[in-house]
Amino acid sequence: MFTTRRIHLAILIYFAGLLLLALALPAHLMKPVFGETGPFELGSIVFWLAMTVAVIKTRKHWKPGTWISLAALSLIAAMREADFQKAFTTEGFMKTNYYTNPAIPLPEKMLAGAVFLSILLVAASALYRGARFLYRDRLRTFGSLMLAEIFVLLFITKVCDRLPAIVKKDYDYVPGETLGRILTAVEEGGEMMIPLLGIVTILSVAARAKAASDGDYQTVTG
């Protein structure tokens, strides 16, 4: 079904296509393609929702705590990509300046803070279980290799997102147009790739569990 070589080849082709697209696009099309309402942003939402469905459909192969935290995290990620958090608050509550803004009512801050804390707990639970899986499996299987690559890709997208602001603030340097296009393409395209790889990982590990003679996924997740 899935092999490491095929997935790596697909990832390389995908990012090569992203770079070519970013460099070839006319300036006035960059925002429509890579912006908040562009196909990559919408694709991220669709794939995160699809990952939620994949987790729920394969839940019999996972420990309860694992599938619940994964399903919740992927659903939260889809809602965040859709800016759902801005629908019920004065502004996005996942940034520190929201809580330091004196114009925002205290009851709203308290409710938003409770929701944000819950999200952090769900994320921490999913990250812990993923890290434990990697430690115990030690990259011996396709599933753990894909999970490791998801972590790497997550790191790369966050670097691409924050790098322009950091170098501007600390070094008074503004990336040129070409570099800016590349960073934007890698960030937005990478963010869409993360849930897609997540779906592949979930289906692969669930298939491995199904094929196991005892059907017990505990030997995989620990």
The list of the chain residues with pLDDT below 50 reads 213, 215-222
Question: So what's the pLDDT on residue 29?
Answer: 92
Other CB atoms within 10 A of residue 127 CB? 14
Question: So what's the pLDDT on residue 55?
Answer: 94
Other CB atoms within 10 A of residue 21 CB? 16
pLDDT, tens digit (0-9, with 9 covering 90-100), for 129-165: 888 888 888 888 888 888 899 999 999 999 999 999 8
CA-CA-CA-CA dihedral for 102, 107, 110, 114, to nearest 10: -140
Contacts of 152 (CB under 8 A, 6+ apart): none
Question: So what's the pLDDT on residue 196?
Answer: 94
How far apart CA 67 and CA 4 sit, in angstroms, is 24
How far apart CA 221 and CA 176 sit, in angstroms, is 45
